[in-house]
């Protein structure tokens, strides 16, 4: 149980392109989903927290107009990196949890490379 699917697993695209990443909880309803970014050999960095039907809460330093998050249902959240640039190249990982105090379950991550 507690499977989270993230798609696509890898994206390579040109600078200026917008990229959409999907995160789905397959066998449970996720009241909250999280988006992380991780650079090589560095710790997970929380970007934003999204609750179904409400606006995402962004961490300090994360541009909400650049990283658009939509949590349209209890099983789907999307992250759109708008007008991506090479410095946005990173490993993006989503997670989902059933409720407060419950573990976060992670998707497989999306490796984004902007040329």
Could you give the CA distance from residue 42 to residue 114 in angstroms, rounded to a whole number? 19
Contact with other proteins (CB under 8 A) among 43, 60, 61, 87: 43
Could you give the CA distance from residue 102 to residue 64 in angstroms, rounded to a whole number? 26
Choose between 27 and 83: whose C-beta lies nearer to other proteins: 27
Choose between 65 and 103: whose C-beta lies nearer to other proteins: 103
Contact with other proteins (CB under 8 A) among 12, 44, 72, 115: 44
- Shortest CA distance to 113 belongs to which of 43, 8, 5? 8
Could you give the CA distance from residue 103 to residue 59 in angstroms, rounded to a whole number? 20
Using CB under 8 A, list all residues that contact other proteins. 2, 6, 43-44, 46, 91, 93, 100-101, 103-109
């Amino acid at each position: 149980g507690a499977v989270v699917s993230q798609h696509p697993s890898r994206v390579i695209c040109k600078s200026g392109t917008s990229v959409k990443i999907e995160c789905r909880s397959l066998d449970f309803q996720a009241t909250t989903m999280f988006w992380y970014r991780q650079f090589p050999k560095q710790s997970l960095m929380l970007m934003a927290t999204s609750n179904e039907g409400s606006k995402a809460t962004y961490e300090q330093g994360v541009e909400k107009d650049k990283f658009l998050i939509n949590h349209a249902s209890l099983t789907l959240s999307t992250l759109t990196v708008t007008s991506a640039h090479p410095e946005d190249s990173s490993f993006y990982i989503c997670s989902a949890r059933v409720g407060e105090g419950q573990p976060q379950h992670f998707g497989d991550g999306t490796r984004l490379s902007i040329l």
